[in-house]
Structures are given as C-alpha cells and as structure tokens.
C-alpha cells in the first residue's frame, strides 16, 4: 500500500506528530483529494485540545484545504478526477433531518460532518471527504491564496453578505487580524462605507490600503462617538477576541443595526435598553457550506481580495501551529504540501 504523511493528534491535549499512514480509500459518497495547501486556523485547537465532545483520536486537524480530486468513491457525484477543489469547516450533513430540510445545514442534528474534527482534515498529503463538502476552485487562485479563504474568508464574506447592510451603508469591522483584514477587504468590495477599528495609530495605513474609508484607533479615539459621526454602523463585524473591545463598540450601531459576532469569547454584555430603543440586535455567525465557499472564492478572485499569509512547508507544522496559537502570526498561516 502506498503511504502518505499526516500530522495527527493522538489524544485530546496531545502534541501534533508527523506519522506515516496508508493512503485511505474513499468510501461511498466520498472523494479523495491530494492536498496542495492547508491553512492553520485557531479552530484547529478544537481538535488538538479536545474542546468538542466525542472527538475520536488519533485525529488529523485542518479545515482550510485546497487540493486536487484524486479518486472518487462509489456514488460520489459532481466531481472529476483532476479537478481543483477546496474543503472548509462544514464537511457535510445528512440532508434529511428537520434542520437540513429547512436549509439550516450547519445545524444538522443527525450527521454533521466537521472537517478535521469528525473526520481527518488537511494536515495531510491526502484527505477523504464527503463529496457534498467540496467547493469548486476557480483557476486564478493559487493553493496558498485560496486556503485561508476556505474558513477565514468564507466566514467574513458570508457573514457580511447576510448581515442586512446594503451598498452605501456604514459597516464597521472590529479587529484587523486574520479575520478582520479579510473582513475590511470584503466590506469595501461589497460597496459598504467601510470603517476599520483597530488598536494603535500604526494600523491606519494598512486599514486604508485594505479599503477602509475611515480608521478608528480604539486606544486614542472613542469608537462610539466616531461611528455616530457617520450616522452609526448598520453592521459591526466583530472579529475581536476581547469582550471589552466588543462592548466598547456596541453604542456605535445605527438604528436597526446588527452586531455580528464571529470572534469567540466566552460571554459578552449587551446594552439592552439601547438595543430595545434602537431596535438593534446581536447575532452570531457560523462559517458556511461548500457553495458559500465557492461564492467566496469567486468573489475574491473577481475583486482581488487576498489573505496575507505566512507560508510554511508541511515539515514545519510545529512552528506553523505555534505561530498561529501564540498569536505571533499577524494574519493567516498556511502550510504547503508540495
Ligand atoms: Zn477555521
Ligand atoms: Zn441533517
């Protein structure tokens, strides 16, 4: 049997380890993909640290995957060997539970397939994934360019296009890291009056380069006052991981504005009276399904949205993961398998 290399975690809280395995065969409805690149996302810590119940180990993390279809399992329809594809967090769903039948595939109660969590992910030379979890990759995006779009890009793009803002509306992006630097680009390219909120005057140049019309330094300025000068934000896309930073911006919402949360914190406080009087809301947003990924990839290619990446060879997986988990990497981290 031919062998491949994977980086796996042997148990919850265990170390990442490079091991050899047999190249797996794709079962019914599954597709085998030869991985070209895989992004390293903070959510990979779910697998490494065992943060979700029921993860079976050893497990290979990774859900920002770009590769080439290598072999089709029985009944795996819609794909051809040799086709370029991406695979993100949402790997698949049953299609027949009540939530799936309402189109809420992310909330599948029966067979929710999460890449790198419920099946082996992209820290590998090959991956076997449900056919329904594959996204078609446009020519014109390299594997390294596309990998972070499969999670960080998808999440911010899909959140912004579903948040209720229209072209010309004020949309603020809180945070200018891995998610935020993509969120600013998407917001600007979607035609929103884009406001970037970050820490420190030194981020202004970057924010403007990414397409922000206005930059608010939340260390030197009051983001609420600055947003209200613009009439308030119809949407705040919050990529921050600080509950205090989030709370400090909520007063900047416009009437009927929405505070969209994609950066995880244990808990936030909301200004209930203001939200009642101004008919505002706070909402969480999951990432998206494979067709949302395709939309993200095509929009990014069309509009020139690109992730800023630190790139590592597969063998440098330890260093690459540490750069991400310790917050040393300013934007996104990608491993290349070839
Ligand atoms: Zn992710
Ligand atoms: Zn379902």
For residue 336, is pLDDT > 90? yes
How many angstroms is it from 221 CA to the middle of ligand 1? 31
Ligand located closest to 262 CA: 1
Ligand located closest to 108 CA: 2
How many angstroms is it from 85 CA to the middle of ligand 2? 23
Q: State CA 73 to chain mean position distance.
A: 28
How many angstroms is it from 308 CA to the middle of ligand 1? 15
For residue 1, the model assigns a pLDDT of 79
Token pair 């310790």 in the structure block, residue: 326
> Model pTM greater than 0.95?
yes
For residue 171, the model assigns a pLDDT of 98
Residue 155's closest CA among 328, 39, 48?
39
How many H helices and E strands in the chain?
11, 17
For residue 264, the model assigns a pLDDT of 86
Tokens of 56: 């079976």
Reported as type and span, the H/E element at residue 167 is: none
How many angstroms is it from 268 CA to the middle of ligand 2? 30
CA-to-CA separations, 32 to 5, 83, 129, 215, in angstroms, rounded? 15, 11, 6, 44
How many angstroms is it from 113 CA to the middle of ligand 2? 10
Q: State CA 253 to chain mean position distance.
A: 24
Token pair 């779910």 in the structure block, residue: 46
Residues 146-160 pLDDT 10s:
999 999 999 999 999
For residue 127, is pLDDT > 90? yes
How many angstroms is it from 98 CA to the middle of ligand 2? 7
- What is the spatial distance between Cα 119 and Cα 160, in angstroms, rounded to a whole number? 29
Going by pLDDT thresholds of 50, 70 and 90, the confidence category of residue 316 is: very high
pLDDT mean across residues, the chain: 97
How many angstroms is it from 27 CA to the middle of ligand 2? 20
Ligand located closest to 109 CA: 2
For residue 132, is pLDDT > 90? yes
Residues 255-302 pLDDT 10s:
999 999 998 899 999 999 999 999 999 999 999 999 999 999 999 999
- What is the spatial distance between Cα 107 and Cα 36, in angstroms, rounded to a whole number? 29
Token pair 């970050």 in the structure block, residue: 198
How many angstroms is it from 102 CA to the middle of ligand 2? 9
Residues 194-235 pLDDT 10s:
999 999 999 999 999 999 999 999 999 999 999 999 999 999
With a CB cutoff of 8 Å and minimum separation 6, the contacts of 203 are 176, 196, 215, 217
Contact of 151 with 87, CB cutoff 8 Å? no
For residue 338, is pLDDT > 90? no
Ligand located closest to 101 CA: 2
Going by pLDDT thresholds of 50, 70 and 90, the confidence category of residue 86 is: very high
For residue 65, the model assigns a pLDDT of 98
How many angstroms is it from 54 CA to the middle of ligand 2? 18
Contact of 69 with 176, CB cutoff 8 Å? no
How many angstroms is it from 148 CA to the middle of ligand 1? 8
- In this structure, which residues have their CB less than 5 angstroms from ion ligand 2? 93-94, 97, 100, 108, 110
User: CA quadruple 174, 176, 179, 182: dihedral positive or negative?
Assistant: positive
How many angstroms is it from 64 CA to the middle of ligand 1? 7
């Amino acid at each position: 049997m031919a062998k491949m290399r994977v980086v796996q975690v042997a148990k919850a809280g265990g170390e990442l380890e490079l091991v050899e395995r047999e190249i797996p065969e794709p079962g019914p409805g599954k597709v085998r993909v030869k991985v070209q690149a895989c992004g390293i996302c903070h959510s990979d810590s779910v697998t490494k640290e065992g943060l979700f119940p029921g993860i079976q180990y050893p497990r290979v993390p990774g859900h920002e995957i770009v590769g080439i279809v290598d072999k089709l399992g029985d009944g795996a329809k819609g794909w051809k060997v040799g086709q370029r594809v991406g695979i993100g967090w949402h790997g698949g769903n049953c299609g027949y539970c009540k939530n799936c039948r309402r189109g809420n595939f992310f909330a599948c109660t029966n067979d929710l397939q999460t890449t790198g969590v419920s099946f082996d992910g992209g820290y590998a030379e090959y991956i076997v994934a449900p056919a329904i979890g594959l996204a078609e990759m446009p020519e014109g995006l390299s594997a390294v360019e596309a990998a972070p779009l499969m999670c960080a890009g998808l999440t911010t793009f899909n959140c912004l296009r579903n948040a209720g803002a229209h072209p010309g509306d004020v949309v603020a992006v809180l945070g200018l890291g891995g998610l935020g630097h993509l969120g600013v680009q998407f917001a600007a390219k979607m035609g929103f009056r884009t406001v970037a909120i970050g820490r420190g005057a030194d981020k202004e140049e970057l924010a403007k380069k990414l397409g922000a019309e206005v930059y608010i330094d939340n260390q030197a300025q009051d983001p609420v006052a600055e947003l209200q000068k613009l009439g308030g934000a119809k949407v705040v896309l919050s990529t921050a991981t600080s509950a205090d930073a989030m709370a400090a911006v909520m007063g900047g919402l416009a009437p009927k504005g929405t505070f969209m949360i994609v950066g995880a914190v244990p808990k936030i406080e909301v200004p209930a009276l203001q939200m009642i009087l101004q008919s505002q809301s706070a909402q969480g947003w999951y990432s998206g399904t494979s067709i949302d990924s395709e939309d993200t990839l095509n929009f990014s290619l069309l509009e020139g949205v690109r992730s800023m990446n630190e790139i590592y060879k597969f063998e440098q997986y330890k260093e690459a993961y540490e750069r991400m988990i310790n917050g040393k990497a300013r934007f996104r981290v990608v491993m290349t398998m070839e």
